[in-house]
Amino acid sequence: MTRVLLCLSVAVLLSACGGSADLAVDLRTDLVPGLEFDAVTVRLDEAEPREVAVSVGEDFDRGRRVAEFPNVATGDRRVRVELVQRGAVVLARRVAVRVETRIAVTVVITRDCRGVTCPGDGSASATECLSGACVEPGCTPETPEACGPPTCTSDAECRPTRACVTATCAAGACLQLPEDTRCAADEMCSPADGCVPRTGGHDGGVDGGVDAGTRVPSEAVFQSVGGGEATSAGHRVRVMLGAPQPAGSAADGIRRVMLGPAAAGR
């Protein structure tokens, strides 16, 4: 009897004191790393965000670990993941997760959420976006019951945006996955623009001859090798994925080229 009371007392004390567990965050997205985002920031509750640099060729369409938080206090937590391009947030999403034991949560960010504002006309608590629709923060692949009706249940229900893209159904959402093998050897696939010239990653880019009117990634940054405007016919350019130089700085020949949908999609 004494032993039973002792065990109960220990259990009560542990419950009162709370506990902790490790939390891992995985990211799954159909935005193209290095082309459409160059960094990922992860924030747990109100803590300082953690940033991870990304580059061309990294695989995020199947899920990739972007943060690990050891010894997180048990209970309800909020995780915010941002896709960043040259310091600007491209897309962001929050998820609610309950930490009781060691857990990994997958944050899915889909390209069709760009331009979508949540909450919409539906539930005021549906503050996040998935597959172009507003969902509850608790909606994750680990908790599909919080997501409502899925956008898709099979790949056949998803339509590709470009010829070089494979549309697949993942966790109830349609993802647009680029297939570089469907482009020329010196090109890569952009779900937004189709086949575009292949860029270097964080190594400063690659040289190549580019004529006026050549399809290039939207918001690409160019450095003119011969001086003058980088988009002029006959100039060789270097595609830069790093941060552009401030306007009026001493950096020679740096330009940011903003291409509209018609120019980028030719």
Is the per-residue pLDDT at 219 higher than 70? Answer: no
pLDDT, residue 146, reads 95
Q: Are 124 and 222 found together in one domain?
A: no
With respect to residue 191, please indicate whether it lies within any of the assigned structural domains: no
Q: Are 218 and 119 found together in one domain?
A: no
With respect to residue 235, please indicate whether it lies within any of the assigned structural domains: yes
Q: Which CATH number belongs to the domain containing residue 123 in this structure? A: 2.60.40
Q: What is the mean pLDDT of the chain?
A: 77
pLDDT, residue 12, reads 42
With respect to residue 189, please indicate whether it lies within any of the assigned structural domains: no
With respect to residue 182, please indicate whether it lies within any of the assigned structural domains: no
Q: What is the 3-state secondary structure (H, E, C) of 161-218?
A: CCCCEEEEEECCEEEEEECHHHCCCCEEEECCCEEEECCCCCCCCCEEECCCCCCCCC
DSSP label at residue 4? H
With respect to residue 119, please indicate whether it lies within any of the assigned structural domains: yes
Rounded Cα gap, residues 112 and 31, in angstroms: 10
Share of the chain above pLDDT 90, in %: 62
**Span 149-208, pLDDT tens digits:** 999 999 999 999 999 999 999 989 999 999 999 999 999 899 999 999 986 433 333 333
Q: Are 38 and 143 found together in one domain?
A: yes
With respect to residue 111, please indicate whether it lies within any of the assigned structural domains: yes
Boundary-marking domain end, from 150, 184, 215: 150
Confidence of residue 212 (pLDDT cuts 50, 70, 90): very low
Q: What would the mean pLDDT of 111-124 be, rounded to a whole number?
A: 92
- In sequence order, the 6+-apart residues with CB closer than 8 A to the CB of 198 are 56, 180, 186, 187, 188, 206
Q: Are 133 and 205 found together in one domain?
A: no
Q: What would the mean pLDDT of 73-78 be, rounded to a whole number?
A: 97
Q: Are 40 and 134 found together in one domain?
A: yes
Q: Are 124 and 38 found together in one domain?
A: yes
Q: Are 146 and 25 found together in one domain?
A: yes
Looking at this protein, which amino acid is placed at residue 77?
R
* Tally of structural domains, the chain: 2
With respect to residue 52, please indicate whether it lies within any of the assigned structural domains: yes
Q: pTM for the complete prediction? A: 0.69
Contact call for residues 42 and 81 (beta carbons, < 8 A): yes
Boundary-marking domain end, from 90, 119, 150: 150
Range of the domain at 249: 199-264
With respect to residue 185, please indicate whether it lies within any of the assigned structural domains: no
Confidence of residue 64 (pLDDT cuts 50, 70, 90): very high
Helix, strand or coil for residue 17?
helix
